[in-house]
Amino acid sequence: MDAVSVVTHLRNLASQPQNRASIVKDKSCLAGLILFLSHQDTQVVEAALQTIHYLCDNPNHCEVIKSELGMMVSLQNIRNSALSNHVKLLAHRIYVTLSMPSHQHTPEAKNKQNSLQFFLPSANKKARIITLHIHGLDNMERKSLCEEALLKVKGVISFTFQIAKRRCTVRVKPDLATECITSAIANTKVLKAQQVIKNECGKEVYVPMPTMNNQVEKSHCLPDYLPEEESPQKDLEKALTRPVSKEETRGNWLKATVGFLSKTFYW
Protein backbone atom coordinates (compact mmCIF):
# COMPACT_ATOMS: atom_id res chain seq x y z
CA MET A 1 0.00 0.00 0.00
CA ASP A 2 1.27 3.47 -0.83
CA ALA A 3 0.44 6.80 0.83
CA VAL A 4 -2.22 7.74 -1.74
CA SER A 5 -4.16 4.49 -1.39
CA VAL A 6 -3.91 4.51 2.41
CA VAL A 7 -5.14 8.06 2.89
CA THR A 8 -7.85 7.58 0.25
CA HIS A 9 -9.21 4.51 2.04
CA LEU A 10 -8.97 6.30 5.38
CA ARG A 11 -10.98 9.17 3.90
CA ASN A 12 -13.59 6.72 2.61
CA LEU A 13 -13.86 5.18 6.06
CA ALA A 14 -14.17 8.63 7.68
CA SER A 15 -16.98 9.53 5.29
CA GLN A 16 -19.13 7.02 7.19
CA PRO A 17 -20.19 8.46 10.59
CA GLN A 18 -20.07 5.04 12.31
CA ASN A 19 -16.31 4.77 11.64
CA ARG A 20 -15.20 8.16 12.92
CA ALA A 21 -14.96 7.39 16.63
CA SER A 22 -12.66 4.42 15.96
CA ILE A 23 -10.39 6.52 13.76
CA VAL A 24 -10.14 9.35 16.31
CA LYS A 25 -9.39 6.92 19.14
CA ASP A 26 -6.54 5.35 17.21
CA LYS A 27 -3.38 7.38 17.75
CA SER A 28 -1.71 5.79 14.72
CA CYS A 29 -4.43 7.15 12.42
CA LEU A 30 -4.27 10.69 13.77
CA ALA A 31 -0.47 10.77 13.79
CA GLY A 32 -0.44 9.37 10.27
CA LEU A 33 -2.86 12.05 9.08
CA ILE A 34 -0.58 14.74 10.50
CA LEU A 35 2.36 13.32 8.57
CA PHE A 36 0.24 13.17 5.42
CA LEU A 37 -0.45 16.91 5.81
CA SER A 38 3.21 17.59 5.03
CA HIS A 39 3.44 15.06 2.19
CA GLN A 40 4.95 16.20 -1.11
CA ASP A 41 1.99 14.85 -3.10
CA THR A 42 -0.85 17.42 -3.09
CA GLN A 43 -3.36 14.62 -3.61
CA VAL A 44 -2.28 13.04 -0.32
CA VAL A 45 -2.49 16.38 1.51
CA GLU A 46 -5.98 17.10 0.19
CA ALA A 47 -7.27 13.61 1.04
CA ALA A 48 -5.84 13.94 4.57
CA LEU A 49 -7.61 17.29 4.99
CA GLN A 50 -10.88 15.81 3.77
CA THR A 51 -10.51 12.98 6.28
CA ILE A 52 -9.92 15.39 9.16
CA HIS A 53 -12.85 17.50 7.98
CA TYR A 54 -15.12 14.45 8.28
CA LEU A 55 -13.77 13.64 11.75
CA CYS A 56 -14.43 17.21 12.92
CA ASP A 57 -18.12 16.75 12.10
CA ASN A 58 -18.57 15.37 15.62
CA PRO A 59 -17.86 18.15 18.18
CA ASN A 60 -16.67 15.54 20.70
CA HIS A 61 -13.76 14.69 18.39
CA CYS A 62 -12.48 18.24 18.01
CA GLU A 63 -10.58 18.47 21.31
CA VAL A 64 -8.87 15.13 20.69
CA ILE A 65 -7.87 16.11 17.16
CA LYS A 66 -6.72 19.57 18.21
CA SER A 67 -4.54 18.20 21.01
CA GLU A 68 -2.72 15.76 18.71
CA LEU A 69 0.89 16.96 18.50
CA GLY A 70 1.57 18.84 15.27
CA MET A 71 -2.04 19.08 14.06
CA MET A 72 -2.58 22.84 14.41
CA VAL A 73 0.95 23.66 13.23
CA SER A 74 0.50 21.51 10.12
CA LEU A 75 -2.83 23.16 9.30
CA GLN A 76 -1.27 26.60 9.75
CA ASN A 77 1.60 25.65 7.46
CA ILE A 78 -0.84 24.65 4.73
CA ARG A 79 -2.74 27.94 5.10
CA ASN A 80 0.53 29.80 4.52
CA SER A 81 1.83 27.50 1.78
CA ALA A 82 1.95 27.81 -2.00
CA LEU A 83 -0.68 25.08 -2.44
CA SER A 84 -3.89 25.78 -4.35
CA ASN A 85 -6.46 28.12 -2.79
CA HIS A 86 -8.93 25.29 -2.74
CA VAL A 87 -6.63 23.21 -0.45
CA LYS A 88 -5.77 26.22 1.71
CA LEU A 89 -9.46 27.02 2.19
CA LEU A 90 -10.12 23.52 3.45
CA ALA A 91 -7.20 23.77 5.88
CA HIS A 92 -8.50 27.17 6.99
CA ARG A 93 -11.97 25.77 7.70
CA ILE A 94 -10.59 22.92 9.78
CA TYR A 95 -8.21 25.23 11.66
CA VAL A 96 -11.05 27.60 12.58
CA THR A 97 -13.32 24.74 13.64
CA LEU A 98 -10.65 23.31 15.93
CA SER A 99 -9.82 26.76 17.30
CA MET A 100 -13.37 27.34 18.52
CA PRO A 101 -13.82 27.24 22.32
CA SER A 102 -15.36 23.95 23.44
CA HIS A 103 -18.61 25.62 24.57
CA GLN A 104 -19.22 26.74 20.99
CA HIS A 105 -19.32 23.09 19.93
CA THR A 106 -22.33 22.31 22.13
CA PRO A 107 -25.72 21.51 20.52
CA GLU A 108 -27.16 24.69 22.05
CA ALA A 109 -24.45 26.83 20.49
CA LYS A 110 -24.86 25.12 17.13
CA ASN A 111 -28.62 25.68 17.20
CA LYS A 112 -28.05 29.35 17.98
CA GLN A 113 -25.53 29.58 15.17
CA ASN A 114 -27.94 27.91 12.79
CA SER A 115 -30.76 30.31 13.65
CA LEU A 116 -28.50 33.29 13.07
CA GLN A 117 -26.93 31.73 9.95
CA PHE A 118 -23.64 33.52 10.57
CA PHE A 119 -21.16 34.17 13.36
CA LEU A 120 -20.52 37.89 13.43
CA PRO A 121 -18.93 40.28 15.91
CA SER A 122 -21.20 42.97 17.36
CA ALA A 123 -19.66 45.60 15.08
CA ASN A 124 -21.24 43.87 12.09
CA LYS A 125 -24.86 44.00 13.22
CA LYS A 126 -25.67 46.45 10.42
CA ALA A 127 -24.27 44.20 7.73
CA ARG A 128 -26.44 43.47 4.67
CA ILE A 129 -27.49 40.01 3.60
CA ILE A 130 -27.53 39.25 -0.12
CA THR A 131 -29.01 36.06 -1.56
CA LEU A 132 -27.64 34.98 -4.91
CA HIS A 133 -28.65 32.33 -7.41
CA ILE A 134 -25.47 31.12 -9.07
CA HIS A 135 -25.69 29.47 -12.46
CA GLY A 136 -23.05 26.75 -12.74
CA LEU A 137 -22.85 26.05 -8.99
CA ASP A 138 -23.40 22.33 -9.39
CA ASN A 139 -20.40 20.61 -7.81
CA MET A 140 -17.74 21.02 -5.13
CA GLU A 141 -15.11 22.25 -7.59
CA ARG A 142 -17.38 25.10 -8.67
CA LYS A 143 -18.19 25.84 -5.02
CA SER A 144 -14.47 26.17 -4.24
CA LEU A 145 -14.06 28.45 -7.24
CA CYS A 146 -16.89 30.66 -5.98
CA GLU A 147 -15.40 30.70 -2.47
CA GLU A 148 -12.08 31.89 -3.85
CA ALA A 149 -13.81 34.69 -5.74
CA LEU A 150 -15.82 35.84 -2.70
CA LEU A 151 -12.82 35.74 -0.37
CA LYS A 152 -11.04 38.25 -2.59
CA VAL A 153 -13.80 40.87 -2.35
CA LYS A 154 -13.12 43.46 0.31
CA GLY A 155 -16.27 43.96 2.37
CA VAL A 156 -17.50 40.36 2.31
CA ILE A 157 -17.92 39.18 5.90
CA SER A 158 -19.17 35.62 5.54
CA PHE A 159 -21.11 33.32 3.25
CA THR A 160 -22.88 29.96 3.14
CA PHE A 161 -23.94 27.73 0.26
CA GLN A 162 -26.88 25.56 -0.71
CA ILE A 163 -25.53 23.68 -3.70
CA ALA A 164 -28.78 21.76 -4.24
CA LYS A 165 -30.53 25.09 -4.87
CA ARG A 166 -27.50 26.80 -6.44
CA ARG A 167 -27.83 29.46 -3.75
CA CYS A 168 -25.25 31.50 -1.89
CA THR A 169 -26.13 33.77 1.02
CA VAL A 170 -23.52 36.49 1.53
CA ARG A 171 -23.21 38.89 4.45
CA VAL A 172 -21.44 42.09 3.48
CA LYS A 173 -20.61 45.52 4.83
CA PRO A 174 -23.38 48.08 4.18
CA ASP A 175 -21.34 50.06 1.64
CA LEU A 176 -20.44 47.11 -0.59
CA ALA A 177 -22.41 47.12 -3.84
CA THR A 178 -24.05 43.87 -4.92
CA GLU A 179 -22.51 44.39 -8.36
CA CYS A 180 -19.04 43.99 -6.82
CA ILE A 181 -19.92 40.49 -5.67
CA THR A 182 -21.64 39.38 -8.88
CA SER A 183 -18.77 40.80 -10.94
CA ALA A 184 -16.23 38.86 -8.89
CA ILE A 185 -18.23 35.68 -9.47
CA ALA A 186 -18.56 36.44 -13.19
CA ASN A 187 -14.76 36.80 -13.37
CA THR A 188 -14.50 33.05 -12.78
CA LYS A 189 -15.73 32.70 -16.41
CA VAL A 190 -17.82 29.63 -15.49
CA LEU A 191 -20.23 31.07 -12.91
CA LYS A 192 -22.87 33.75 -13.20
CA ALA A 193 -24.84 35.24 -10.30
CA GLN A 194 -28.27 36.84 -10.07
CA GLN A 195 -29.68 38.45 -6.97
CA VAL A 196 -32.72 36.75 -5.43
CA ILE A 197 -35.40 39.11 -4.09
CA LYS A 198 -39.12 38.90 -3.34
CA ASN A 199 -41.61 40.86 -5.43
CA GLU A 200 -44.75 42.58 -4.18
CA CYS A 201 -46.59 39.23 -4.16
CA GLY A 202 -43.93 37.67 -1.96
CA LYS A 203 -42.65 35.50 -4.78
CA GLU A 204 -38.93 35.06 -5.36
CA VAL A 205 -37.55 36.55 -8.58
CA TYR A 206 -34.05 36.66 -10.06
CA VAL A 207 -32.58 40.07 -10.81
CA PRO A 208 -29.75 40.20 -13.41
CA MET A 209 -26.87 42.34 -12.19
CA PRO A 210 -24.65 44.51 -14.41
CA THR A 211 -20.97 43.63 -14.59
CA MET A 212 -18.64 46.31 -13.28
CA ASN A 213 -15.83 47.28 -15.62
CA ASN A 214 -13.61 48.64 -12.88
CA GLN A 215 -11.55 46.17 -10.89
CA VAL A 216 -13.17 44.88 -7.72
CA GLU A 217 -11.28 45.87 -4.58
CA LYS A 218 -9.63 42.76 -3.24
CA SER A 219 -9.17 41.60 0.32
CA HIS A 220 -5.77 40.13 1.14
CA CYS A 221 -6.76 38.31 4.31
CA LEU A 222 -9.20 35.51 5.00
CA PRO A 223 -12.30 36.16 7.14
CA ASP A 224 -12.03 35.03 10.76
CA TYR A 225 -14.81 32.49 10.47
CA LEU A 226 -16.74 30.90 7.63
CA PRO A 227 -19.00 28.38 9.39
CA GLU A 228 -20.61 25.63 7.38
CA GLU A 229 -21.24 22.93 9.98
CA GLU A 230 -24.99 23.35 9.52
CA SER A 231 -25.00 23.96 5.77
CA PRO A 232 -27.62 22.03 3.76
CA GLN A 233 -24.96 20.82 1.35
CA LYS A 234 -23.10 18.83 4.01
CA ASP A 235 -24.82 15.61 3.02
CA LEU A 236 -24.02 16.31 -0.61
CA GLU A 237 -20.34 16.64 0.24
CA LYS A 238 -20.45 13.28 2.02
CA ALA A 239 -22.12 11.69 -0.97
CA LEU A 240 -19.14 12.55 -3.17
CA THR A 241 -17.11 9.79 -1.53
CA ARG A 242 -17.87 6.20 -2.42
CA PRO A 243 -19.42 4.59 0.70
CA VAL A 244 -18.16 1.30 2.11
CA SER A 245 -21.24 -0.84 2.48
CA LYS A 246 -20.29 -3.94 4.48
CA GLU A 247 -19.34 -3.99 8.16
CA GLU A 248 -16.62 -6.57 7.53
CA THR A 249 -15.10 -4.51 4.73
CA ARG A 250 -15.03 -1.42 6.93
CA GLY A 251 -13.37 -3.29 9.75
CA ASN A 252 -10.78 -4.90 7.49
CA TRP A 253 -9.86 -1.62 5.82
CA LEU A 254 -9.51 0.14 9.15
CA LYS A 255 -7.26 -2.61 10.48
CA ALA A 256 -5.21 -2.62 7.28
CA THR A 257 -4.82 1.16 7.36
CA VAL A 258 -3.82 1.24 11.02
CA GLY A 259 -1.40 -1.62 10.41
CA PHE A 260 0.21 0.21 7.50
CA LEU A 261 0.57 3.41 9.50
CA SER A 262 2.00 1.60 12.51
CA LYS A 263 4.59 -0.22 10.39
CA THR A 264 5.49 2.78 8.22
CA PHE A 265 5.89 5.49 10.84
CA TYR A 266 7.64 5.46 14.18
CA TRP A 267 5.81 7.35 16.92
Question: Assign residue 65 a region: left if phi > 0, alpha if psi is -120 to 50, beta otherwise?
Answer: alpha
pLDDT digits (tens, 9 = 90+) for 142-199: 898 998 889 888 888 888 888 889 999 998 888 888 888 999 999 999 999 999 988 7
Domain span including residue 58: 3-111+245-264
Q: Is residue 232 part of a domain?
A: no
Clarify whether residues 104 and 171 are in a common domain: no
Q: Is residue 100 part of a domain?
A: yes
Lowest mean pLDDT among 21-25, 54-58, 104-108, 210-214: 104-108
252, 15, 66, 253 alpha-carbon torsion, rounded to 10°: 10
DSSP letter, residue 246: -
Clarify whether residues 93 and 169 are in a common domain: no
With a cut of 70, say whether residue 228 has pLDDT above it: no
Query: Average pLDDT in the 93-103 region?
Result: 81
Q: By CB neighbour count within 10 A (0-12 exposed, 13-18 middle, 19+ buried), where does 188 fall? A: middle
Q: Which residue has the higher pLDDT, 93 or 219?
A: 93
Query: Average pLDDT in the 16-34 region?
Result: 89
Q: Is residue 226 part of a domain?
A: no
d(C-alpha 148, C-alpha 206), whole Å: 23
Q: Is residue 234 part of a domain?
A: no
pLDDT at 181: 92
Clarify whether residues 87 and 143 are in a common domain: no
pLDDT-derived band at 217, boundaries 50, 70, 90? low
Q: Is residue 230 part of a domain?
A: no
Query: Average pLDDT in the 213-241 region?
Result: 44
Question: Assign residue 155 a region: left if phi > 0, alpha if psi is -120 to 50, beta otherwise?
Answer: left
Q: How many domains does the chain have?
A: 2
Clarify whether residues 105 and 138 are in a common domain: no
pLDDT at 116: 36
Clarify whether residues 134 and 198 are in a common domain: yes
Q: Is residue 166 part of a domain?
A: yes
pLDDT at 252: 52
pLDDT digits (tens, 9 = 90+) for 48-69: 999 999 998 888 899 999 999 8
Q: Is residue 229 part of a domain?
A: no
| Mean pLDDT across the chain | 76
Q: Which residue has the higher pLDDT, 217 or 58?
A: 58
Q: Is residue 233 part of a domain?
A: no
pLDDT at 128: 85
